[in-house]
Amino acid sequence: MGYEHYDNIIEPFLENVRLHPDRLACVCDDVTHTYQEMNVLTDRIARAFVDRGVTAGDRVAYLIPNSIELVGVYLAIQRIGAVAVPLNYRLISREIAFLTNAVDAKLLVFDKRFVDKVEAVLSDFESDLALMGVGTSTSFAPRLWDLASEAPIDPEVPLFKDPSALSRIQFTGGSTGLPKGACRTHRQDLTEIHACIASNGMLEMDHPIALIQCPLEHHGGHSWFMSALSSGATTVICGKFDPQNILSQIEQYGVTHMILLPPTTYLRLMRDEHVKDYDLSSVRIVQSAAGAMTPEVISEAFEVFPNTEVNYGWGQSESGTGTSIRITRDMVDRRVPELASVGTPMETLEVRIVDDEGLDVEEGQPGEAIVRSPAVMSGYYGQEELTRNAFTSDGWLRTGDIMRRDENGYLYLMTRKKDMIKSGGENVFINEVQTAILRNPLVADCVVFGTSDPVMGEAVAAVVQPVPGASLTAEDVQETCKQYIASYKKPRYVQFIDDLHRDDAGKVRLKDVIDYFDRKRAERK
């Protein structure tokens, strides 16, 4: 049985509060909370939100790094039927204001580390936006925990129940580079979480221990912490990548499931000089996603984690669920061709591979993957035209990814149809970077694309045409970007060219530009 009988995404968590009240639910550094303690924390925060006027359907944005506080805020939002709007904590001030206003948020909750970012754009927020600080109080925002600690815990805040109501707006992006908020209901997220648990096998043991070192505000991080809490697991939350900390916690807590992103992070962990000093035999599932997990890397994972399998796959915020393949040591030893795939569709997901006319292609031929599932989003918040364009006339979601399917049903990701770069686990949209670069008055033109990178897997690259006679450096271009977009979006590599040779239609031969970039990059090595 799935989660069809639940009406709120946090009901599986609440079931584990009843079944395992004294079991550790969340661990982050030296802070621990049992399931019952997480429930009390959730109720207090929910009451604080209600006291500030938040009601069912109101959007609550939060800007919080990986922490137990983030989990508590998310669960509290769901308890009262409000809509969670997780924000990437690496955003700059103007992006925070734009996205908060874009969803007509009633409340913004922010961590003490981001006080300066929020204060810088106070005048840009909608006038009725309420603010709360986590770990701090300011002249413009009370401290959340002061409000929450004053709230009684008896009786509990009533649980909101409506499976068709919005539970989350997950910001993603597309070829325009503009932010798009994927609207997800309780039913869609319940379907997704159930499929995720079936894929990663958290219910295959009585007490799973899940270590998460990827942003919890991302779709993947959200899927994993909610899968863990829905499975009665102990969730070990990590912040910035620290190999010694991760390795010691695997040993200390007996971690059974782990997810690190981007995939190249596994290489950094497995090649740490102290990795052999720790007992890592408890790990049963190493989770990764499309990109950088070659058979050689997977073989290395089996050496470091002797009892593991590698769960690998593909998915989107829009699709909710995705595809997966459980890779064993034997599969790697035999070098089965499916190792190059992203697996088969997870529970409830249907996948078609179609041509530009929307017709199914022949087996083995590439085409755009379109999907259908109860986990697929409802649409993009406040963007009707984009929503219409995202779906076919008969309701299939256009993923924008080119795939092929083999005779055994395995799917292979060929390329991204969307104008998007996946750099270090973050989506970076080309138009957004180009626009930022062109804000520099010494830049006449530019082209942005993704290039291979040994650390990031894929990195942002730019070929820039300066204004004639201008003196411009790569650092100048990067500093301009940092003024207008988050730092991780700036180009990691910059090359200069006298003329991009746009044609009369304003188009550039991208292949020629990339070839030029590759030659210049090789010359610098």
Domain boundaries, the chain: 11-329, 422-524
Please check the confidence at residue 521 and state whether its pLDDT lies above 70: yes
Per residue in 271-289, pLDDT tens? 899 999 999 999 999 998 7
Superfamily for domain range 422-524:
ANL, C-terminal domain (3.30.300.30)
User: What is the C-alpha separation between 47 and 484, in angstroms, rounded?
Assistant: 37
Please check the confidence at residue 228 and state whether its pLDDT lies above 70: yes
Q: 422-524: same fold as 11-329?
A: no
pTM of the model: 0.84
Which tokens go with 37?
């303690």
DSSP-derived letter for residue 209 is E
* Angle subtended at Cα 165 by Cα 48 and Cα 6, rounded to the nearest 5 degrees: 90
Please check the confidence at residue 90 and state whether its pLDDT lies above 80: yes
**Domain covering 11-329 assigned CATH 3.30.460.10 in the classification:** no
Q: Which is more confidently placed, 418 or 267? A: 267
Asked whether 88 and 217 are in contact (CB, 8 A), the reply is yes
* Residue 1: per-residue pLDDT: 53
User: What is the C-alpha separation between 350 and 386, in angstroms, rounded?
Assistant: 22
User: What is the C-alpha separation between 481 and 494, in angstroms, rounded?
Assistant: 12
Report percent pLDDT > 90 for the chain: 74
Please check the confidence at residue 369 and state whether its pLDDT lies above 50: yes
Reported as a pLDDT band with limits 50, 70 and 90, residue 414 is confident
DSSP-derived letter for residue 278 is S
Q: Which is more confidently placed, 457 or 201? A: 201
* Residue whose C-alpha is closest to residue 398's, from 408, 390, 406, 407: 390
* Backbone Cα Rg of the chain: 23
Q: Which is more confidently placed, 56 or 400? A: 56
Q: Which is more confidently placed, 423 or 144? A: 144
Residue that has been written with the tokens 């003196």 in this structure:
471
Asked whether 464 and 438 are in contact (CB, 8 A), the reply is no
Reported as a pLDDT band with limits 50, 70 and 90, residue 504 is very low
User: What is the C-alpha separation between 185 and 372, in angstroms, rounded?
Assistant: 15
Which tokens go with 397?
């979601």
User: What is the C-alpha separation between 427 and 316, in angstroms, rounded?
Assistant: 11
* Residue 523: per-residue pLDDT: 87
Mean pLDDT of all residues in 188-206: 96
Please check the confidence at residue 255 and state whether its pLDDT lies above 60: yes
Please check the confidence at residue 176 and state whether its pLDDT lies above 50: no
**To the nearest whole number, what is the mean pLDDT of the chain?**
91
Mean pLDDT of all residues in 184-212: 96
Cis peptide before 155 (omega within 30 of 0): yes
* Angle subtended at Cα 65 by Cα 428 and Cα 382, rounded to the nearest 5 degrees: 55
User: What is the C-alpha separation between 38 and 380, in angstroms, rounded?
Assistant: 31
Q: Is 61 helix (H, G, I), strand (E, B) or coil?
A: strand
Reported as a pLDDT band with limits 50, 70 and 90, residue 175 is very low
Q: Identify each DSSP E strand in 186-294 by its residue range.
A: 209-213, 234-237, 257-260, 285-287
Mean pLDDT of all residues in 7-35: 97
Reported as a pLDDT band with limits 50, 70 and 90, residue 502 is confident
User: What is the C-alpha separation between 62 and 54, in angstroms, rounded?
Assistant: 14
Contacts of 516 (CB under 8 A, 6+ apart): 463, 495, 497
User: What is the C-alpha separation between 346 and 331, in angstroms, rounded?
Assistant: 20
Mean pLDDT of all residues in 300-306: 94
* Residue 503: per-residue pLDDT: 61
* Cβ count within 10 A of residue 117: 19
* Residue whose C-alpha is closest to residue 84's, from 165, 196, 178, 203: 165
Please check the confidence at residue 174 and state whether its pLDDT lies above 50: no
Q: Which amino acid is at 525?
A: K
Q: Identify each DSSP E strand in 406-456 by its residue range.
A: 411-416, 420-423, 426-429, 443-453
Reported as a pLDDT band with limits 50, 70 and 90, residue 415 is low
Reported as a pLDDT band with limits 50, 70 and 90, residue 439 is confident
- Sign of the dihedral through C-alpha 439, 443, 449, 451: negative
Q: Is 63 helix (H, G, I), strand (E, B) or coil?
A: strand
Reported as a pLDDT band with limits 50, 70 and 90, residue 156 is confident
* Residue 375: per-residue pLDDT: 97
Please check the confidence at residue 307 and state whether its pLDDT lies above 50: yes
Q: What is the dihedral of CA 487, 182, 354, 341, to 10 degrees?
A: 60
Residues present in the chain in total: 525
Asked whether 403 and 413 are in contact (CB, 8 A), the reply is yes
Reported as a pLDDT band with limits 50, 70 and 90, residue 506 is low
User: What is the C-alpha separation between 291 and 6, in angstroms, rounded?
Assistant: 34
Residue that has been written with the tokens 């290395």 in this structure:
300
* Residue 224: per-residue pLDDT: 96
| 5-14, 63-72, 268-277, 431-440: least confidently modelled range | 431-440
Mean pLDDT of all residues in 297-317: 92
